[in-house]
Amino acid sequence: QGCTQKYIVKNYFYYYLFKFSAALGEEIFYITFLPFTYWNIDHSVSRRMIIVWSIVMYIGQVSKDILKWPRPLSPPVVKLEMRTNAEYGMPSTHAMAATAISFSFFIATMNLYKYPFELGLAAAFVFSTLVCLSRLYTGMHTVLDVIGGALISAVLLVLLYPAWDTIDHLLLTSPFCPLFSIVVPLVLCYNYPKLDYYSPTRGDTTTILGATAGATVGFWLNNQYAASAHTSKTVQPGFPLITSTVVFVLARFFVGILVVLLTRWVMKSVVLGVLGHRYKFPLHDLAARRRREVEVPYKFVTYSSVGFMATVVVPLLHQLLGLM
């Protein structure tokens, strides 16, 4: 089960389209798009997206390990991925994340910027639909998994929307925000549902909650001690894509991503080294790294550092380099 099945690609357009669409529900997308919105579009939009994404993903991941519905049998389906094959299927967290991110972005921006409502709605629908279809194409989910994930995410969006402004205000102003943002996610990670075998769901959930915790502390710190974190001044209503704006947007993005990736690499090495010394295991021991007492602190500290750097240090670096 450690390798993908042999298959023949008969339509390369669909193959690459859905392989790319599947990546839109994975870490590579989260670690690029979510910071991009914070650095280049609007801070309030980014805050709302990150909070909704973390809540939706936590509920989705826990639901998988409580329901324990199996993934599609292979054969008859051909599975083009193997990393997530150890996870249960219902609900599809790819479908949940795509629905949450695309529609929360649409809802958060439709009253801030001038663009056709129908265009924004269509873009959110197409984005989420492509990710949902990719899970069927790659053989990782059933139709019911995907529909269930999208519906759960939609219901959570409806329930969370009325509290958006209240939650955002508390995250920016409450003196208890830093403590709450660290303690609650850590408690949730350490008390994640136990399985009879190892599944990457706990590690992925810790990654998401850790990144959100670091980012939330960064939001609070920016609002308390730095310039206002409410709105980016770079992108004005109408999203003017003149040459100078594009250059600054790309420069901010590449500088930020470089810092984020460097932070992840450094913190991963340092934290694993400390934990390896504490629990007496070599760094290449995969089984040891999957133990709860190692996996949770390793991933939480690493990705909370990433979230903090992305929201506090990177904007300061942008100012220092004259990119604001």
Report how far residue 73's alpha carbon sits from residue 232's, in angstroms, rounded to the nearest whole number.
Answer: 48
Neighbouring CB atoms inside 10 A of 73's CB total 10
pLDDT, tens digit, 9 for 90 and up, residues 218-255: 999 988 876 544 344 444 444 444 567 778 888 888 99
Same domain, yes or no: 151 and 188: no
- Domain range for 274 is 175-226+241-323
pLDDT tens-place values along the chain, 324 residues long: 444 567 777 777 888 888 888 887 777 888 888 888 888 888 888 888 899 999 999 999 898 888 888 887 777 777 777 666 667 778 888 889 889 998 999 988 888 888 888 888 999 999 899 888 888 888 888 888 899 999 999 999 999 888 888 888 888 888 898 999 999 999 999 988 887 777 788 888 999 999 999 999 999 998 887 654 434 444 444 444 456 777 888 888 899 999 999 999 999 999 888 888 888 888 788 888 888 888 889 999 999 999 999 999 998 888 888 877
Q: Quote the pTM value.
A: 0.83
Q: Is 131 helix (H, G, I), strand (E, B) or coil?
A: helix
The confidence score (pLDDT) of residue 8 equals 77
Catalytic residue among 94, 169, 230, 318: 94
Same domain, yes or no: 127 and 269: no
Same domain, yes or no: 138 and 213: no
The confidence score (pLDDT) of residue 76 equals 73
Whole-Å CA distances, 158 to 100, 104, 126, 154, 172: 10, 10, 19, 6, 23
Whole-Å CA distances, 299 to 14, 247, 268: 34, 34, 8
Catalytic residue among 43, 141, 169, 284: 141
Residue 141 is a catalytic residue: yes
- How many domains is the chain partitioned into structurally? 2
Question: Does residue 169 belong to any structural domain of this protein?
Answer: yes
Same domain, yes or no: 55 and 128: yes
Of 173, 189, 206, the last residue of a domain is 173
Of 149, 173, 197, the last residue of a domain is 173
Same domain, yes or no: 218 and 140: no
Same domain, yes or no: 110 and 201: no
Same domain, yes or no: 112 and 256: no
The confidence score (pLDDT) of residue 194 equals 84
pLDDT, tens digit, 9 for 90 and up, residues 97-119: 889 998 999 988 888 888 888 88
Same domain, yes or no: 190 and 95: no
Residue 169 is a catalytic residue: no
Q: Are 90 and 145 in contact (CB under 8 A)?
A: yes
Same domain, yes or no: 27 and 42: yes
Same domain, yes or no: 153 and 212: no
